[in-house]
Amino acid sequence: MNNPFDPMHIQEEKAEREARRLKLRTNLLIAVFCAVLAGFVAVLYQAQIVSGSDYRANSSVRISKSEVVDSVRGEILDRYGRVLVTNEVSYYVALDWTAMGSDRLDILARLLDICREEGVEWTDSLPISQSAPWSYTADIPLASQAVDEEGNPAVNEKGEAVINKTALGSLAEKCGWVGKAEKSNLTAGELLTAMCQTFGLIEKTPRPRLEHPELAGMLSAAGQGLGLIDQGGGISQEVRQLAGVLYELYLRLNEVDNSQYVFAQGVDMTFISKVKENALAGVRIETTTARRYQTGYAAHVLGYTGKIYRNTWEYYKELGYSMDATVGVEGVELAFEEQLHGASGTRLIEKDSAGNTIGQEWRKEPEPGENVVLTLDIGFQATVEDLLAQYSARQEVKLGEDGEPEPVKGMAAAVVDMRGGVLALASYPTYDLASFRENFNELSRDESKPLNNRATMGLYAPGSTFKPLTAIAALDSGTIEPRDTVECTAYYHFYPDVSPACWIAPGRHGRENVTQAIKDSCNIFFYDVGRRTTIETLQEYARKFGLGEYTGIEISEYKGWVAGPEANAHFNLPWYGGDIMNAAIGQGTNQFTPLQLANYVATLVNGGNHYACHLLKECKSSDYSQVTETYEAAPLHTIDLQPEDLAAVKQGMYDLSKTYTMARWFSSLPVEVGCKTGTAETSAKAASTDAIFVCFAPYDDPQIALCIVAEGGDAGGSLAEIAAGIMAQYFSTDGSLNNVSRENTLLH
């Protein structure tokens, strides 16, 4: 029997207990490890087997993307706070190619059916007619269109766009519609057939090379399922329309056009409901703001907005614009783009498999643009435009070569204050900004050129309206004194081989001083005085008064030409010493804009202070709470005119307004005026003339100056009626300048 107190026995029992405890701990650890392992296996099974497809779907379709969001564009107002251009919320349709999956053709076909049912027009720039026989159209993207020497889209004698076959063929090759050997001299039918084969809309063996070969099978199979493929190779109108949409998408897939494809704009709720009911994947309805025009006037001044052109993208990219941003293209919209646009924002967008937005987060909120207040008074502008239209509608001013009356071809008017502020700027014929895009092709082909802003980009010989400039140049340079006279004998005999006549010939004005010569518009006086003053001095003073120079106005303008050797060389004409006579009476190669002529008169009658022309009055914050910028007018330079010289010239213009032909229009005005008429020959045939008229008022304390031009007009005096109407509106106590709403105007 073992002794329980035997040390050896005690040691053995202790070792046995330790072994049992170790085995228990080991079994416990193994059990815990197995439980944890089982838990991991269960989680992995749940994630990969039970919910694997869901997680896989979520991981593939929950895509986050950062995008630039444009701000709300600022408003444009006239000088009295009347809103001219504002914004309105509209809906547009955008297409996401990748979100459509393999059902692309089915989705697009159903979308086009809805458009036809609802009468919605969609974007289709494919330069091929909508129905057979297939032909190229005038609606051609710049990438496919020929350009002239200045880089503008080229047109033929009918105003139709000219296809650049080389560019179009290269585009077709890049997109995989044709091979390299086929890209030259494509007819419209050949191009359309090649495209439809590439898109899987008609069959052909072998199939042309594809830029995106992985799409070929999907498109072809989808086309067969929809019954779109014509085994005979014919192309229906529906297939042509579908090809037009695929063309737009392919341009972007191949990075020919990097803008967003806006399928349709300004869609209504009925259309949106039908799209939602059909659950068309990849067809997104987005909201945007579109420009709304509150006036039908001042189209050439206000301008319009559009998408960023390819050649300006790098510039706007540096400014942080998105590729599909809306920017100013012409007029005030372009001139004040920086103020109107505001600051773009950035947001993080999360989308599902259908391309629908399921979440968004602002990283930086956009800042709305500032509101631009112009110097224009829209009521006054309307009067000026209406007067031009009324005059043009009823005027058949002279007989043409066939003996039939010829109407005025086009007109322009510019009215400025004494510090260069533009009060009205009109060009006729004009157009309506609200329907401009729909009517663009018709407007661009119109022979009367309604898209041209004649007030700032029309160049005209000033005719006798230049004579006050010749007079002040001769007086200020010391060539003559106000009392000096020249005898008008009907013909000027200084040069032995030429004897130019006075307009009154064979009659004569007799001996006249500068005041009388301006009133009577005596050519002989200005032939002689101009010759003695020299062409260099005439050019110097013309430029001092802003003629043949940019006026500084913020919108597009032409510089023009001051007659002289340089101008003649530009027009490939020789310069002879006797050409100074034509230059002195406003003929020859003198070419100025109506705005330049109006500002020259303002510079003259305000005492010689030459200001830049401007449309900006001030800018206001988006909520109109503060003025952020105010235009500060300061003279560009001052001509130090002697009071007696200026008085002599102004007196001649005043005396002209009191003659019978002028007094019948100006005598009823509440102010006294000064004026000068001009009739400028536009070709070697005397029957081809432009009528020019300049005017200022009040005579004693001038406030405004104006210029009116009628292309193909007769004598400049025929425009006095319009000038009187403009003056009556401006100085009327009941006119728009006094009774206007002060809405959106800060009180100071």
Share of the chain above pLDDT 70, in %: 79
pLDDT band at 71 (very low <50, low <70, confident <90, very high): confident
- The alpha carbons of the chain give a radius of gyration, in whole angstroms, of 38
Determine the pLDDT at residue 256. 62
Structure tokens at 273: 């409901």
Comparing CA positions, the residue from 318, 308, 261 lying closest to residue 111 is 261
pLDDT at 216 over 50: no
CA distance linking residue 705 with residue 694, whole number of Å: 7
Give the tokens for residue 69: 């969001």
Quick: pLDDT tens for 218-229.
444 444 444 454
Is pLDDT larger for residue 715 or for residue 463? Answer: 463
Which residues, other chains included, contact 592 with Cβ-Cβ below 8 Å and sequence gap of 6+?
459, 460, 462, 547, 548, 560, 600
The residue with tokens 């960023």 is 308
Lookup: tokens for 260: 């967003």
Tell me the two tokens of residue 682.
């536009």
Q: Look at residue 618 and tell me whether its pLDDT is greater than 90.
A: yes
CB 689 within 8 Å of CB 702: no
Burial letters for 407-438: b for 16+ Cβ neighbours within 10 Å, e otherwise? ebebbbbbbbbbbbbbbbbbbbbbbebeeeee
Which stretches of 320-453 are DSSP H helices?
331-335, 337-341, 378-394, 440-445
Helix, strand, coil distribution of the chain in percent, nearest 5? 40, 20, 40
- Give the three-class secondary structure for 128: strand
Residue linked to tokens 């109108």: 237
Residue 743 has pLDDT above 90, yes or no: no
Residue 556 structure tokens: 């597009």
| pLDDT, position 427 | 96
DSSP label at residue 214: G
Residues 6+ apart with CB under 8 A from 45: none
551: buried, middle or exposed (CB in 10 Å: 19+, 13-18, 0-12)?
A: buried
Q: Do the Cβ atoms of 591 and 461 come closer than 8 Å?
A: yes
What's this model's pTM, rounded to 2 decimal places?
Answer: 0.75
Is residue 7 helix, strand or coil?
helix
Q: At residue 255, does pLDDT exceed 70? A: no
Distances (CA, A) of 642 to 28, 484, 646, 660: 116, 16, 6, 30
How many Å apart are CA 525 and CA 502, to the nearest integer?
9
For residues 649 and 604, give the distance between their C-alpha atoms in angstroms, rounded to a whole number: 9
Q: Which of 202, 192, 205, 195 is CA-nearest to residue 175?
A: 195
pLDDT tens for residues 229-253?
444 446 788 888 888 888 888 777 7
Instruction: Note the residue count of the chain.
Output: 748
What is the DSSP code string of 601-654?
Answer: HHHHHTTSEE---B-EEEEE-TTSSSEEEE-----SEE----HHHHHHHHHHHH
CB atoms within 10 A of CB 39: 10
Model pLDDT, residue 100: 77
Q: List all residues 6 or more positions away from 632 whose beta carbon is below 8 Å from its beta carbon.
A: none
Q: Are 552 and 612 in contact (CB under 8 A)?
A: yes
| Cβ pair 289, 266 in contact under 8 A | no
Q: Within a 10 A sphere around the Cβ of 324, how many other Cβ atoms?
A: 17
542 vs 444: which has the higher pLDDT: 542
Average pLDDT of the chain, as a whole number: 82
Domains and CATH numbers, the chain: 67-368 (no CATH), 378-708+720-731 (3.40.710.10)
Rounded CA separation 273/280 (Å): 11
In our burial notation (b when 16+ CB lie closer than 10 A, e otherwise), range 45-59 reads eeeeeeeeeeeeeee
The set of residues, in sequence order, having a beta carbon less than 8 Å from that of 480 and lying 6+ positions away, is: 474, 514, 529, 532
**Mean of pLDDT values over 727-742:** 61
Q: Give the pLDDT band (50/70/90) at residue 685.
A: very low
By mean pLDDT, which of 62-71, 520-529, 697-706 is the weakest? 62-71
- The secondary structure of 266-293, three-state, reads CCCHHHHHHHHHCCCCCEEEEEEEEEEE
**How far apart are alpha carbons 42 and 468 in whole angstroms?**
100
According to the model, what pLDDT value does residue 5 have?
59
- What is the structure's pLDDT at 549? 96
The pLDDT tens digits of the residues spanning 562-606 come to 999 999 999 999 999 899 999 999 999 999 999 999 999 999 999
pLDDT score at 419: 96
Backbone angles phi, psi at 486, to 5 degrees: -130, 140
